[in-house]
Amino acid sequence: MMQALSAAAPAAAQDARAPGTAAAPGVADGDPAAVLPRQARTVRDTGLDPRFVTGLVLKTLHAGGKTPLSVLTGRLRLASSVVREVLQGLIGVQQAEVAWAGETDLDVHYSLTAGGQRAAAGHLAESRYVGPAPVTLAAWRAVLAHQSQRRQDAARVGRPELEALLHEDGLEPAVRELIGAALHSHRPLLLYGPSGSGKSTLARKFARLRQDPVAVPHAVLVNNEVVQLYDPALHPAPLQPRGLDERRSVDARWMPSQRPLVHLGAELTRDMLELRPDAAAGVLRAPHHLCANSGLLVVDDLGRQRVPAAELLHRWLAALESGQDHVAVPGGPTLALPFDVVLVLATGQAPEAVLDDACLRRIGYRIPVGPLSEPSYRALLRRQARLRRIELDDGALDYLVGELHRRTRRPLLAAYPHELLDRIADFAGFAGHAPRADAHSLAQAWSSMFGAAVTTNPAIPAAANGGAARGDAR
């Protein structure tokens, strides 16, 4: 659900924000730039140690040689006033010099002296990192607090929004009520049911309820370690680009993003829960569950990971309660980093078979997702056929439900219509004609899914076979 907010933040409210702090909750929904902290104008405003900022400038000049001021500010994501402040200090100690000057203060190129080259080499020996200046851990915590979906005044899921999202999924009213209460509470929830019942698709759909933009830092400085957080694959650009062209007054060390949706499955291992050193880049890569901050973390196939489900859940549930997760640096210390997500779990097993009683008590809601009712299953197949522009014979749909499903006792699971129609399109494409969902093509797709022995030469009702005959006549 998108929170109803003003179209643009008042200028006075923007000016009142301290550097490195986010817009107050409720500012400018749909205006991505409004969620970004105010630009730092001085080295002190960045919150970083002056020596650290100086080292970044030296290393950037070392990598680029004679470099325009505009390129320096772009690479460091810092205001020109901050970079000039550092450069003036470097010029004063004869580690940098003006290599070329144009007609304006911004049209200046800088380079390192021999002393500057030696100083840059010393900083590179300490850290290989060259890139956007990180933000402080305190600044990141403050922004996450503003963006938290767990705030008391945060937008809550209501019935109209949930009905609009789920009205085509065929879920029973009681299940929709459970989902609504769980999402309204912002507590962790567990979806369980047979494989193919649509749990994973349902879990990912929850991300559509909150698509307001949030701010994500490129990197955070923690105990003199640079932790990289921003990942374009996990932090897509906001749906509304308005406001992004005029961002000179905001802190470019932060990127506007949709609330992230991070999906983890059976591939999850213990090492994926910790910080990963990238020696070449001089950074620690944040684990995916921390990249999900301010968004939705979906853990699929719970119980199939190489980490025991109880161990994983005890860690994350404790982290959600405390607001931080303790992540390890291989061969180094453990860092306490913020953890604030909406946690959705999905499993094909019985909850009691996956989690112990202590975990089950701490999970907010356990929600069964089972087979669809026959009317819902029929409606889903019709809708998906329409979306794929595949003509569907009503008689063939009777054959699918009344013959194939009933004879094989296969439940009416939400995954089947999608898979059957995709296979019908595959066979039609290979044969060189338009796909048509008649009894013959459904039987063929069914056989390819479950084995030829399941349905060979099916007795197709005459009403259903009419569509197949028409298809053969073309």
Over the chain (474 residues), the average pLDDT of each successive run of 10 is: 30 40 44 87 97 98 94 96 97 95 85 97 96 97 94 88 89 92 92 94 92 95 95 90 62 96 95 94 96 97 94 95 94 93 96 92 93 94 95 92 94 95 97 95 95 52 42 37
Tell me if 61 sits within 8 A of 72, measured CB to CB. yes
Q: What is the pLDDT of residue 6?
A: 27
Pairing of strands 67-68, 213-217: unpaired
| Contact of 124 with 59, CB cutoff 8 Å | yes
* Residue 240 DSSP one-character state: -
Here the tokens at position 444 are 């063929």
User: How far is Cα of residue 349 from the mean position of the Cα atoms in its chain?
Assistant: 26
In contact, 179 and 166? CB cutoff 8 Å: yes
Q: Taken in order 143, 144, 149, 151, is the CA torsion positive or negative?
A: negative
> CA 105, CA 118: separation in Å to the nearest integer?
27
Angle between helices 50-64 and 114-126 (to 10 degrees): 110
Give me the numbers of helices (H) and strands (E) for the chain, helices first please. 20, 19
Side-chain-facing half-sphere of 254: CA atoms under 13 Å: 33
DSSP 454: G
Beta bridge partners of 193: none
What pLDDT is recorded for position 444?
95
Q: What is the pLDDT of residue 247?
A: 57
Q: What share of the chain is helix, strand, coil (3-state, %, to 5)?
A: 45, 15, 40
Q: Considering Cα of 181, then 183, then 184, then 185, what sign does the dihedral take?
A: positive
- Phi/psi-derived region of residue 312, left when phi > 0, alpha when psi is between -120 and 50, beta in every other case: alpha
Q: How many residues does the chain have?
A: 474
Place of tokens 């008391």: 152
Tokens standing for residue 55 = 């080292």
- How far from 254 is each of 26, 132, 297, CA to CA, in Å? 19, 9, 21
Which among 178, 150, 139 is positioned nearest to 162, based on CA atoms? 178
Q: What is the pLDDT of residue 246?
A: 54
pLDDT of residue 102: 80
Say how many C-beta atoms besides its own lie within 10 A of residue 261's C-beta.
20
What local confidence, expressed as pLDDT, does residue 12 receive?
30
Distance of alpha carbon 48 from alpha carbon 50, whole angstroms: 6
Q: Give this prediction's pTM.
A: 0.85
pLDDT at 266: 94
Instruction: Give me the pLDDT at residue 152, please.
Output: 85
Residues 303, 306, 309, 312, CA torsion sign:
negative
